Amino acid sequence: MLAAERQSRIVEEIHKRGAVRVIEFAQMLGVSDMTIRRDLDALAQQGLLDKVHGGATRRSASTEEPGFEAKSLRQQPEKEAIATAAAELVSSGTAVGLSAGTTTWALAHVLRQVEGLTIVTNSMRIADVLHARPSTDQNVVVVGGVRTPSDALVGPIAVSALAQLHLDIVFLGVHGMAETAGYTTPNLLEADTDRALVAAGRRLVVLADHTKWGVVGLSTIARLGDADAVISDDRLPEEARAVLEDQVADLRLVPVEPGA
């Protein structure tokens, strides 16, 4: 198979499935992992896809919302490091809000080890994590609503439920963050729900890896300065660091192993 034919097949699969791993492409097309990586480099330079850790995902616009599986492939080491750092802010007996998202999903895995928590979420995926290994002294509250492509529950029912709650700390995962737009999402209903979750919390901590900087979704959830803390990774650009340090009281950058 010629390179052009192979790359056309890769683009077709990416658009069909949203995300595919290098090893899957290699087996599907009968070539080496290195050949697939070179193809992905070429296609990424043409703007036809986004390279991620171990594979590639479909490039999205400000109104396009990738599915959970596609997002879960992106920046896995960064998300795990951010989640570990975020868990240090939680102590036994805390009422915690977790927005939907793959970074907050990673945090949910770590929080299973913390006793006496009440965890409120609008994420079916996070609820599944907490249900899979339930802690007898944790209370998990799942708000209802309409399901999004990223498996969040959103809309008036979720907003109404969140308006009645008072949380110690809210961890917010975001689609993007930028100096003017703030923290954003491509889904209007999810923006409403996230704003209600933020309003329910006494403290807001945003979890966002370095690739989220400069990405602007359709709707703003909160301004940069509304966050009490932002946890990102040490690959965050200098420009972003300067802006966030100016507007956010607590910016934490966690190290990520080189080559991860």
Domain boundaries of the chain, sorted by first residue: 3-58, 68-254
| Stated pTM of the model | 0.74
pLDDT, position 135: 67
pLDDT, position 16: 67
Domain 68-254 sits in CATH 3.40.50.1360: yes
pLDDT, position 258: 60
pLDDT, position 62: 45
3-58 and 68-254 share one fold: no
Residue 105 tokens, joined: 């999903």
Mark 244-257 as b/e (b = at least 16 C-beta within 10 Å). beebbeebbbbebe
Report the run of H or E that residue 254 belongs to, with start and end: strand 250-254
Dihedral angle over CA of 17, 22, 25, 26, nearest 10: -170
CA distances for 196 relative to 114, 147, 201, angstroms = 25, 17, 9
pLDDT, position 67: 57
- Helix 102-111 vs helix 124-132: angle between axes, to the nearest 10 degrees? 20
**How many residues would you count in the chain?**
260
Task: State the CATH architecture for 3-58.
Answer: Orthogonal Bundle (1.10)
As a whole number of Å, the CA-based R_g of the chain is 19
Q: Are the CB atoms for 177 and 212 separated by under 8 Å?
A: yes
CA distances for 20 relative to 38, 51, 84, 175, 196, angstroms = 15, 10, 26, 20, 34
Phi-psi region of 181 (alpha: psi -120 to 50; beta: other; left: phi over 0): alpha
What is the full per-residue pLDDT of the chain (260 aa) written as tens digits? 778 888 888 887 876 666 678 898 899 899 999 999 999 988 888 777 777 777 887 665 544 555 555 555 566 789 999 999 999 999 999 999 999 999 999 999 999 989 999 999 999 999 999 988 766 688 999 998 999 877 899 999 999 999 999 999 999 999 989 888 999 988 889 999 999 999 999 999 999 998 888 888 889 999 999 999 999 999 888 989 999 999 999 999 999 876 55
pLDDT, position 31: 92
